Chain A
Amino acid sequence: EPEVTQTPSHQVTQMGQEVILRCVPISNHLYFYWYRQILGQKVEFLVSFYNNEISEKSEIFDDQFSVERPDGSNFTLKIRSTKLEDSAMYFCASSGADQETQYFGPGTRLLVL
Chain B
Amino acid sequence: AQKVTQAQTEISVVEKEDVTLDCVYETRDTTYYLFWYKQPPSGELVFLIRRNSFDEQNEISGRYSWNFQKSTSSFNFTITASQVVDSAVYFCALIRDTGFQKLVFGTGTRLLVSP
Residues on A close to B: CB < 8 A? 31, 33, 35, 41-45, 48, 50, 55-56, 58, 89, 91, 93, 95, 99-107, 109
Distance to closest chain A CB from B90 (angstroms):
12
B47 touches A104 (CB 8 A): yes
B45 touches A104 (CB 8 A): yes
In the complex, chain B residues whose CB is within 8 Å of the CB of A102:
47, 95, 103
Contact residues of A: prevailing secondary structure: strand
Distance to closest chain B CB from A94 (angstroms):
12
Interface size class on chain B is: 20 to 34
In the complex, chain B residues whose CB is within 8 Å of the CB of A99:
100-101
Whether B28 sits at the interface, judged by CB under 8 Å, is no
Residue among B45, B46, B106 facing the most chain A CB atoms (10 A cut-off): B45
Whether B64 sits at the interface, judged by CB under 8 Å, is no
Distance to closest chain A CB from B112 (angstroms):
15
Whether B68 sits at the interface, judged by CB under 8 Å, is no
